[in-house]
């Protein structure tokens, strides 16, 4: 199977070169997490096999992407950095901010007026919330006056509800007001994506930007605030001249200027969509199980499965959704109406809770892992469970996605521990390595591995 995958990969590259277009490089590089040509070291540490280490201006969960001799990576709150691949030197860094968004004069005036009115309401609300906090302290110290204090507290709560309702009269001001930031995900969790000429980046505060490789911003758009719990995590998907973003609605932007091409109402998720071509049509497979046509946003199929906070996996026309309720669906070879994908199997995996890590497929086996470190290995053909094992991560949680490089599996925890495993039908640990904490997914090229740590960007190699 791996031989056919390699042949298909070469054919894809040949077609891209023939047409003058580059294959997009983004989330998990090509969406699979597999690097069959890479041969990275299997052992490393903070003082071993580190080619270079570069201090980052802030943390980020975004994975790096490699474009030629440059590496692009994110940082809080909304920063895109370009780093030299050979030496790790920061070539440029650009921050996106609400005040950088260009609006027509009429909207600029409207925004200023709304912000002035909203600021008054927000100030009043903050003062009331301070009064409520003081009342709660009094209530703890003087329980004998419980009824009166609770009455006062309820009156204040009613006033805050009225103020927040009033804020709905100023939607433009709300759009340009920084949303609450989750301490784990932050605003810089999405991985950038590039077509080899430009690089596009989305942030959890609703800002999306396009840059050339020299760091010149081509456009900046404020789309909307995310409605997903715990902040925004999904990475943008680049297909042709469309950039797919999902904060509240699924939106396609024209990469030329960032203008909105279409919008579809779908509930967001933290997993990133992946690209599939059926016949001559480009489609996106959403983590919630929708098959969406990139040209116009039409939903051609629904309820294929759900991968939750990780991404679907695609190989040989079969899409896999890996979480406790795992599924495999055969996609049709051609588009027809109605479109009828064929369910192949369903499986129940042991690991409960969150499945942040996206799976990887190798030699007919799928490797998935939940946040608590329970590794599940299933047959891609049948969904039959091969084995499950709790990985020795201690208190760390598995946020980084599983990767395959040099014929080895790499599985990491957010404490910076990475297990290097031999793929196969039995568990075999080859090495256990430690760096600083990270939640980003490593990427590989040649004999090197690149890891975005909490504080540093690393190049690992012998």
Q: Are 428 and 407 in contact (CB under 8 A)?
A: no
CATH of region 23-99+181-461: 2.130.10.10
The neighbour count for residue 303, using CB atoms within 10 Å, is 10
The C-alpha atoms of residue 226 and residue 202 are separated, in whole angstroms, by: 12
Residue 22 confidence (pLDDT): 66
Mean pLDDT comparison of 7-21, 148-162, 171-185, 274-288, highest-scoring range: 274-288
The C-alpha atoms of residue 194 and residue 171 are separated, in whole angstroms, by: 32
Pairing of strands 403-405, 34-35: parallel
Exposed, middle or buried by CB within 10 Å (0-12, 13-18, 19+), for 343?
Answer: exposed
Find the mean pLDDT for residues 132-154: 87
All residues at 6 or more sequence positions from 106 whose CB lies less than 8 Å from its CB, including other chains: none
Task: Report in angstroms the alpha-carbon separations of 129 from 146, 148, 182.
Answer: 19, 18, 21
**13: confidence class by pLDDT, cuts 50, 70, 90:** very low
The C-alpha atoms of residue 363 and residue 1 are separated, in whole angstroms, by: 6
Residue 216 confidence (pLDDT): 97
**20: confidence class by pLDDT, cuts 50, 70, 90:** very low
Task: Look up residue 5 and give its DSSP letter.
Answer: H
Six-digit token pair at 169? Answer: 């009269």
- Output the DSSP codes for 109-167: HHHHHHHHHHHHHHHHHHHHHHHHHHHHHHHHH-GGGHHHHHHHHHHHHHHHHHHHHHH
Residue 301 confidence (pLDDT): 94
pLDDT per residue as tens digits for the range 207-233: 999 999 999 999 999 999 999 888 899
Percentage of residues in the chain with pLDDT exceeding 90? 85
Residue whose pair of structure tokens reads 């027509």 in the numeric block: 104
Q: Are 322 and 355 in contact (CB under 8 A)?
A: yes
The neighbour count for residue 148, using CB atoms within 10 Å, is 13
The neighbour count for residue 129, using CB atoms within 10 Å, is 13
* Cross-strand partners of 362: 365
Q: List alpha helices for 20-73, DSSP H.
A: 28-31
**144: confidence class by pLDDT, cuts 50, 70, 90:** confident
All residues at 6 or more sequence positions from 435 whose CB lies less than 8 Å from its CB, including other chains: 44, 45, 46, 416, 418, 451, 453, 458
pTM over 0.85: yes
**6: confidence class by pLDDT, cuts 50, 70, 90:** very low
pLDDT per residue as tens digits for the range 154-166: 999 999 999 999 9
Task: Report in angstroms the alpha-carbon separations of 136 from 123, 131, 159, 317.
Answer: 20, 9, 16, 59
Q: What average pLDDT does the chain have?
A: 92
Six-digit token pair at 277? Answer: 């071509």
Residue 10 has pLDDT above 60, yes or no: no
- Output the DSSP codes for 366-397: EEEE-TT-EEEEEETTT--EEEEEE-S-TT--
Task: Look up residue 455 and give its DSSP letter.
Answer: S
pLDDT per residue as tens digits for the range 253-283: 999 999 999 999 999 999 999 999 999 999 9
User: H helices then E strands: how many in the chain?
Assistant: 5, 33
Find the mean pLDDT for residues 140-151: 84
The C-alpha atoms of residue 376 and residue 374 are separated, in whole angstroms, by: 6
Residue 447 three-state SS: coil
pLDDT per residue as tens digits for the range 295-321: 999 999 999 999 999 999 999 999 999
pLDDT per residue as tens digits for the range 407-416: 999 999 999 9
* Cross-strand partners of 212: 198
The C-alpha atoms of residue 60 and residue 75 are separated, in whole angstroms, by: 5
């Amino acid at each position: 199977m791996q031989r056919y995958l390699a042949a298909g990969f070469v054919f894809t590259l040949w077609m891209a070169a023939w047409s003058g277009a580059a294959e997009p490089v983004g989330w998990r590089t090509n969406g699979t997490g597999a690097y069959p040509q890479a041969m990275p070291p299997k052992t490393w540490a903070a003082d071993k096999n580190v080619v270079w280490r570069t201090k980052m201006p802030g943390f980020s969960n975004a994975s790096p992407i490699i474009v030629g001799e440059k590496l692009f990576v994110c940082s809080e709150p909304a920063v895109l950095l370009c780093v030299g691949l050979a030496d790790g030197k920061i070539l440029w860094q650009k921050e996106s901010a609400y005040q950088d968004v260009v609006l027509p004069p009429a909207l600029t005036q409207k925004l200023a007026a709304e912000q002035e009115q909203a600021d008054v309401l927000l100030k009043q609300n903050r003062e009331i919330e301070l009064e409520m906090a003081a009342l709660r302290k009094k209530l703890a110290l003087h329980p004998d006056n419980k009824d009166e204090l609770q009455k006062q507290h309820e009156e204040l709560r009613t006033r805050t509800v009225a103020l927040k309702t009033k804020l709905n009269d100023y939607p433009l001001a709300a759009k340009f007001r920084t949303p609450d930031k989750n301490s784990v995900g932050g605003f810089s969790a999405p991985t950038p994506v590039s077509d080899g000429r430009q690089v596009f980046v989305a942030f959890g505060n609703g800002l999306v930007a396009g840059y050339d490789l020299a760091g010149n911003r081509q456009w900046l758009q404020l789309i909307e605030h995310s409605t997903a719990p715990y902040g925004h995590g999904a990475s943008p998907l680049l297909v042709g001249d469309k950039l797919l973003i999902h904060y509240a609605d699924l939106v396609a932007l024209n990469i030329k200027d960032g203008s909105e091409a279409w919008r579809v109402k779908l509930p967001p998720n933290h997993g990133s969509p992946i690209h599939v071509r059926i016949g001559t049509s480009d489609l996106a497979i959403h983590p919630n199980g929708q098959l969406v046509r990139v040209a116009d946003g039409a939903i051609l199929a629904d309820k294929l499965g759900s991968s939750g906070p990780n991404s679907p996996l695609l190989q040989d026309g079969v899409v896999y959704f890996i979480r406790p309720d795992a599924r495999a669906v055969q996609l049709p070879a051609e588009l027809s109406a109605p479109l009828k994908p064929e369910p192949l199997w369903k499986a129940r995996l042991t690991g409960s809770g969150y499945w942040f890590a996206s799976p990887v497929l190798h030699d007919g086996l799928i490797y998935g892992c939940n946040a608590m470190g329970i590794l599940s290995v299933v047959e891609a053909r049948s969904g039959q469970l091969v084995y499950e094992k709790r990985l020795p991560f201690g208190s760390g949680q598995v946020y980084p996605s599983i990767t395959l490089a040099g014929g080895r599996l790499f599985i990491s925890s957010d404490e910076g521990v990475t297990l290097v495993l031999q793929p196969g039908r039995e568990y075999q640990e080859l090495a256990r390595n430690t760096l600083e904490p990270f939640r980003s997914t490593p990427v590989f090229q040649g004999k090197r591995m690149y890891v975005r740590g909490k504080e540093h960007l690393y190049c690992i190699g012998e």
